[in-house]
Amino acid sequence: MELWYSENHSEDVKFSIRVDKQLYTGKTDYQRIDVMTSKEFGTFLTLDGLMMVAEKDEFIYHEMITHVPMSVNPEIKNVLVIGGGDGGTVKQLVRYEGIENIDLVEIDRAVVEVSMRFFPGMRVGFEDKRVTVYYEDGLKFIRSKRNEYDLIIVDSTDPFGPGEGLFTREFYGNCSKALNENGIFVNQHESPYYDNYANSLVRAHSRIKGVFPIHKLYQAHIPTYPSGHWLFGFASNKFDPLEDLDADKWNKLGIKTEYYNTDLHKGSFALPNYVKELLENA
Ligand code: SAM
């Protein structure tokens, strides 16, 4: 019998992948975790029935969430990642020799354990001695932090369940306090295409706007995410992601990427008109 993984991308749209084998299923205090293999996307991990990471296209999301801020300020030394238990974001960050410290705050220890087991290619970050993993709620962790980080990356699930607090005004305000004066904040910002995702995107954007004077969205094409059209948020008190992009400096680092490059960086901030209109209402 054929096995298919199906995920609702809207009330009337399902996205399906033919599954070769279910490798793992488990339930934690926070969510259900499944790992499957497929011919098209390789091994993939879902949380509560939503795609988190797939071997074949994870590079797009993880390169865009890390190299965009790192090329705007290549002097970044102290980084906080909230969520990101699959290891994809820290895998990209540890490629920068200049980064001295990375704190990763993941609410669910099982996501890290399962990812280490089934995605050996993503382990490298967890094995780097600059990385410390805290198993805590990011919403609580950030409350006591002041002027510490050069970069905060929010690599979270969607705004319901354990990830809900990571889309609140309180959380964004505390992120601003936890950043130093050169700080940059980047988050996964949902999809503009289907209403159910677009509504949370608009809400999150209006909250971030109220906290950071510089706030822009950029986009990438990620085949396994709803509609394939995904946005990220860039916010800062100081850096503009286009005016302050130091393309030569980043290119001289010699970091080999499969998706990101500094031309694409510039283009990724040029948004379609329907997305601009959505944001005007935020
Ligand atoms: N790339 C992904 C996406 O956009 O679908 C995100 C993947 S990553 C696995 C998301 C992680 O955020 C999950 O492992 C989840 O446990 C973690 N998470 C959710 N809420 C959290 C919270 N409040 N504090 C810390 N981590 C959280």
| Domain boundaries along the sequence of the chain | 3-54, 58-280
157 marked as part of a ligand binding site: yes
Query: How confident is the model at residue 197, as a pLDDT?
Result: 86
* Best of 156, 164, 232 for a ligand 1 pocket test (most atoms within 8 Å of beta carbon): 156
Query: How confident is the model at residue 43, as a pLDDT?
Result: 98
192 marked as part of a ligand binding site: no
- CA of 106 from ligand 1 middle (Å) equals 7
- CA of 243 from ligand 1 middle (Å) equals 31
Query: How confident is the model at residue 59, as a pLDDT?
Result: 98
Query: How confident is the model at residue 51, as a pLDDT?
Result: 97
CATH architecture of 58-280: 3-Layer(aba) Sandwich (3.40)
Cα(9)–Cα(15) distance, rounded to whole angstroms?
7
Query: How confident is the model at residue 70, as a pLDDT?
Result: 98
Q: pLDDT tens per residue, the chain (282 residues)? A: 899 999 999 999 999 999 999 999 999 999 999 999 999 999 999 999 999 999 999 999 999 999 999 999 999 999 999 999 999 999 999 999 999 999 999 999 999 999 999 999 999 999 999 999 999 999 999 999 999 999 999 999 988 889 999 999 999 999 999 999 999 999 999 999 998 888 889 999 999 999 999 999 999 999 999 999 999 999 999 999 999 999 999 999 999 999 999 999 999 999 999 999 999 877
- CA of 164 from ligand 1 middle (Å) equals 10
Which residue has a Cα nearest atom 7 of ligand 1? 52
* Active-site annotation, residues: 155
Query: How confident is the model at residue 282, as a pLDDT?
Result: 77
Which residue has a Cα nearest atom 2 of ligand 1? 52
- CA of 47 from ligand 1 middle (Å) equals 9
Index of the ligand 1 atom closest to the CA of residue 163: 20
- Any alpha helices (H) in 51-147, and if so which ranges? 58-72, 88-93, 109-118, 138-141
Backbone angles phi, psi at 270, to 5 degrees: -85, 105
Binding pocket residue ranges, ligand 1, CB within 6 Å: 30, 47, 52-53, 61, 82-86, 105-108, 111, 137-139, 155-157, 162-163, 165-166, 188
- CA of 28 from ligand 1 middle (Å) equals 13
103 marked as part of a ligand binding site: no
162 marked as part of a ligand binding site: yes
86 marked as part of a ligand binding site: yes
Index of the ligand 1 atom closest to the CA of residue 86: 9
Query: How confident is the model at residue 281, as a pLDDT?
Result: 77
CATH 3.30.70.980 fits 3-54, yes or no: no
User: Strand, coil or helix: what is 211?
Assistant: coil
How much is the pTM? Answer: 0.98
CA dist list (Å): 115 to 61, 62, 182, 205, 270? 16, 15, 32, 30, 34
3-state helix, strand, coil in the chain (%, to 5): 35, 30, 35
